């Protein structure tokens, strides 16, 4: 009996690990233009997550912006809708690794010389 229970739990674990982490949402209806939001004053240790449209049921719903605790070493990329030939795909917000090759505190995309070994 014990082997049966352990085997069943193992099989369930394998099935659960094969599930996708997040399913893509595709809709035929383009999201409305973003709403104007007043961004509050900066908060130390937090990043502003801008408001965005989400698809719920059969229509777009506005999700207001909010503060989120920052993650050192990462940059927040906000949620967005991407047009795939008339079908719209929703991409949730995510944290991307902060790229700073010469460790001067300036991200590579804003640095005039991101690979300067003499700059410290």
**pLDDT of 102 above 60:** yes
pLDDT for residue 110: 73
**Closest by alpha carbon to 28, among 84, 92, 91?**
84
- For residues 98 and 2, the model is more confident at 98
For 30-63, write each residue's pLDDT tens digit: 999 999 999 999 999 999 999 999 999 899 999 9
- Give Cα 86 distance to the centre of its chain: 23
Q: Is the pLDDT of residue 11 over 70?
A: no
> Residue 3: helix, strand or coil by DSSP?
helix
The pTM (predicted TM-score) of the whole model is 0.62
């Amino acid at each position: 009996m014990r082997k049966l229970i352990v085997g069943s739990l193992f099989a369930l674990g394998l099935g659960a690990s094969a599930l996708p982490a997040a399913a893509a949402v595709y809709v035929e209806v383009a999201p409305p233009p973003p709403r104007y939001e007043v961004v509050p004053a900066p908060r130390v240790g937090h990043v502003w997550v801008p408001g965005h449209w989400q698809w719920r049921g059969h229509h777009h719903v506005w999700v207001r912006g909010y503060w989120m605790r920052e993650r050192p070493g990462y940059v927040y990329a906000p949620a967005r809708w991407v047009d795939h030939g008339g079908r719209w795909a929703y991409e949730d917000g995510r944290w991307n690794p902060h790229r700073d090759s010469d460790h001067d505190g300036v991200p590579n995309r804003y640095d005039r010389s991101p690979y300067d070994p003499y700059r410290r």
